[in-house]
């Protein structure tokens, strides 16, 4: 069937057969399907949705569009995936923490999508770091260090690479069938033995309400289980920037400070420990999530997690003294401008998606697939929701390439950060768990 006929079938609300989906994905992989046709297909799925059999078929087709790794008796081979948020640098700490606890983490990460930052972009802020090694190098690094945070190689789920890039710039990111297929095709192709999903919920997430986030979590767990990949999901809060920074190089610096114990922001720390704890349970390295979280803390306190991070960076071509000299290596924006409170009161809330888009506008993300990311720009020093401030207090720092960009970001922050007379009700960091 011609690609346009498959698109038409989905556009008109009909269910695609497994053969239809396999044929379309084969065309994507072999470049017989154009970017315009991918865009039309993803938009049709966005509006028409997919049945459970269609979702399974799409995941399977994308998984088998390239190599599927087999680690044999090597393991436990584990991973975590986030649905995306603002300031979400959890993976940078989590992978070496799990490795320090005896797990092996071949983390296939992605670029930024829409308003959310991408783990792959963050790692590429490290000079010399090879984020797209061949599969032999990936195996060697994981075996040697316990973890490797990389992007998709041309071997693993290549169909997803093309579809992912198109979704980023065509407003088709927030589709549960496409999210599930994108995530799971990469993870199943990586040969995992356990996966923990960090499903973000709130103003900075693709799923803003509990029902949608729960639907996504349950769908991923169900599809993954059907494919033989034990999976659990944790719904975590994304109603404000996670940690103190949003950008690429500045998030890497925050991760370094976290691993070395210089500073660990409370929300970031608790969510990271919870995710590590659940991963260790799936890998049979801990009996309960609580025991796993305690082991995660031990990995930090002993310095083993920081050592694993440095080993990974070095093994993939980064500086051998990055952990101690990160500020020397990371890009810095030419201009840093304080953003100050316009009035006294309490920081009552954040329109977190708008903050993420402000980082993209500064150059820290992409408007189109060919854009080159500016690693040095972003926003740092966020005061958490609930903090009392006086008029004129600095509540964030804008890192920009020029004054015009900084002024636009400041205007966005004026509208995105709410200062009120009273503190908002406390929100849970973890909203639910799905097993």
Verify whether residue 115 is a known catalytic residue: no
Whole-number Cα distances in Å, 400 to 146, 274, 407: 36, 34, 9
Verify whether residue 82 is a known catalytic residue: yes
Report the run of H or E that residue 190 belongs to, with start and end. Answer: none
Selected catalytic residue, list 48, 167, 267, 431: 167
Report the run of H or E that residue 20 belongs to, with start and end. Answer: helix 18-29
* Alpha-carbon 358 to chain mean position: 18
Selected catalytic residue, list 60, 115, 186, 200: 186
Longest dimension (CA), the chain: 65
Selected catalytic residue, list 48, 55, 60, 81: 81
Selected catalytic residue, list 39, 119, 185, 231: 119
Phi, psi angles (nearest 5°) of residue 41: -65, -50
Verify whether residue 402 is a known catalytic residue: no
Selected catalytic residue, list 60, 80, 89, 267: 80
| Pairwise CA distance, residues 274 & 268, whole Å | 10
Q: Are 20 and 9 in contact (CB under 8 A)?
A: yes
Verify whether residue 144 is a known catalytic residue: no
Phi, psi angles (nearest 5°) of residue 431: -85, -35
Selected catalytic residue, list 91, 182, 203, 314: 182
Q: Are 336 and 223 in contact (CB under 8 A)?
A: no
Q: Are 242 and 356 in contact (CB under 8 A)?
A: no
Q: Are 174 and 166 in contact (CB under 8 A)?
A: no
Selected catalytic residue, list 29, 42, 60, 79: 79
Verify whether residue 79 is a known catalytic residue: yes
Q: Are 117 and 247 in contact (CB under 8 A)?
A: yes
Q: Are 13 and 140 in contact (CB under 8 A)?
A: no
Verify whether residue 119 is a known catalytic residue: yes
For the chain, the straight-line distance linking the first and the last C-alpha, in angstroms and rounded, comes to 39
| Pairwise CA distance, residues 122 & 118, whole Å | 7
Selected catalytic residue, list 187, 308, 366, 399: 187
Edge-first strand order for the sheet with 388-389 is 388-389, 345-350, 417-420
Selected catalytic residue, list 29, 63, 65, 82: 82
Rg (C-alpha) for the chain, rounded Å, is 21
| Pairwise CA distance, residues 214 & 92, whole Å | 25
Whole-number Cα distances in Å, 421 to 37, 345, 387: 51, 5, 11
Q: Which residues of 298-311 are buried (b: 16+ CB within 10 A; e: fewer)?
A: ebbeeebbbbbbbb
Verify whether residue 83 is a known catalytic residue: no
Q: Is the peptide bond before 76 cis (omega within 30 degrees of 0)?
A: yes
| Pairwise CA distance, residues 311 & 149, whole Å | 12
The residues that are catalytic are 79-82, 119, 167, 182, 186-187
């Amino acid at each position: 069937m011609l690609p346009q006929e498959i698109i038409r079938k989905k556009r008109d609300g009909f269910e695609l057969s497994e053969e239809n989906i396999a044929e379309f994905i084969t065309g994507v992989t072999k470049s017989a399907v154009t970017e315009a046709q991918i865009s039309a297909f993803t938009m049709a799925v966005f509006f028409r949705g997919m049945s459970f059999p269609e979702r399974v078929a799409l995941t399977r087709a994308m998984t088998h569009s390239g190599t599927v790794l087999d680690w044999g008796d090597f393991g436990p081979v584990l991973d975590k995936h986030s649905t995306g948020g603002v300031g979400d640098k959890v993976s940078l700490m989590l992978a070496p923490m799990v490795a320090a606890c005896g797990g092996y983490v071949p983390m296939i990460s992605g670029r930024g999508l829409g308003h959310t930052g991408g783990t792959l972009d963050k790692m590429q802020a490290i000079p010399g770091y090879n984020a797209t090694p061949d599969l032999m190098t990936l195996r060697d690094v994981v075996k040697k260090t316990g973890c490797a945070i990389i992007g998709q190689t041309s071997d693993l789920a290549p169909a997803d690479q093309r579809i992912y890039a198109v979704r980023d710039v065509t407003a088709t990111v927030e589709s549960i069938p496409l999210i599930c297929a994108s995530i799971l095709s990469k993870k199943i192709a990586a040969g995992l033995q356990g996966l923990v999903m960090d499903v973000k919920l709130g103003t900075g997430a693709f799923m803003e309400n509990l029902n949608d986030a729960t639907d996504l979590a349950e769908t991923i767990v169900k599809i993954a289980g059907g494919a033989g990949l034990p999976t659990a999901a944790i719904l975590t809060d994304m109603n404000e920037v996670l940690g103190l920074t949003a950008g690429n190089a500045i998030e890497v610096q925050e991760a370094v400070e976290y691993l070395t114990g210089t500073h660990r922001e409370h929300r970031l720390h608790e969510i990271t420990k919870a995710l590590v704890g659940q991963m260790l349970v799936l890998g049979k390295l801990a009996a309960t999530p609580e025991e796993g979280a305690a082991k995660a803390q031990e990995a930090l306190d002993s310095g083993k997690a920081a050592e694993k991070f440095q080993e990974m960076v070095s093994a993939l071509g980064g500086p051998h003294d990055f952990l101690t000299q990160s500020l020397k290596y990371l890009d810095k924006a030419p201009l840093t401008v304080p953003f100050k409170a316009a009035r006294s009161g309490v920081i009552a809330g954040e329109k977190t998606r708008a903050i993420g888009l402000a980082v993209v506008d500064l150059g820290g993300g992409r408007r189109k697939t060919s854009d080159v990311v500016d690693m040095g720009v972003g926003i740092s020093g966020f005061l958490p929701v609930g903090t009392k401030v006086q008029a004129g207090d600095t509540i964030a720092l804008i890192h920009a390439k020029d004054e015009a960009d900084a002024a636009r970001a400041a205007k966005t922050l004026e509208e995105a950060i709410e200062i009120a007379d009273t503190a908002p009700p406390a929100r849970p960091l973890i909203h639910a768990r799905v097993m």
